[in-house]
Amino acid sequence: MTLNRQVAEGIEGIRLQVDPSQVTVREDNEGGAFVIVESITLGGDLYQQTESWIGFRITFQYPYADVYPHYVRGDLARCDGSPLGEAMSVSSFEGRPAIQISRRSNRLNPVTDTAVIKLVKVIEWLLTRP
């Protein structure tokens, strides 16, 4: 089975947003895909690591299903040594140790809540946590 058209368009939007970062896509055999953006800058103020990959699944129901959850590197740690906090838990994604980020869109609007906008919002949330 191949990617459904909306999923393929969502992935193309992500590629354009994160260029030049590498985007890895693995079809899920249902019309959706597992996506990993290999290099997201974390800065250096909040986390010990300066960059991470970020991954997620876009299901065949997209754009009518939320792109949720997202995953980042499994060794993510805060500079101050405190726990990562709410909405973050130890997990795995595509065979990689990961931290799962649970940021669900409660009132999903398929027109405005695109995969790329959700990715940007999750990254922004990750970088602006108290």
What single DSSP character describes residue 33? E
Q: How far is CA 3 from CA 23, 31, 37, 93, in A?
A: 15, 4, 18, 20
Q: Assess whether pLDDT exceeds 80 at residue 130.
A: no
Longest Cα–Cα distance in the chain: 46
In this predicted model, what pLDDT tens digit does every residue of 15-53 receive, in sequence order? 999 998 899 999 999 999 999 999 999 987 899 999 999
- pTM of the predicted structure, to 2 decimals: 0.94
In this predicted model, what pLDDT tens digit does every residue of 48-92 receive, in sequence order? 999 999 999 999 999 999 999 999 999 999 999 999 989 999 999
Set out the domains of the chain in order of their start, with CATH numbers: 5-127 (3.10.110)
CA atoms within 13 A on the CB side of 47: 21
Which tokens is 76 given? 């993510």
Q: How far is CA 130 from CA 10, 71, 75, in A?
A: 30, 19, 19
Residue keyed to tokens 């969502």: 10
Q: What integer pLDDT is reported at residue 43 of this predicted model?
A: 80
Crossing angle (nearest 10°) for helices 5-18 and 115-127: 40
Q: What integer pLDDT is reported at residue 15 of this predicted model?
A: 96
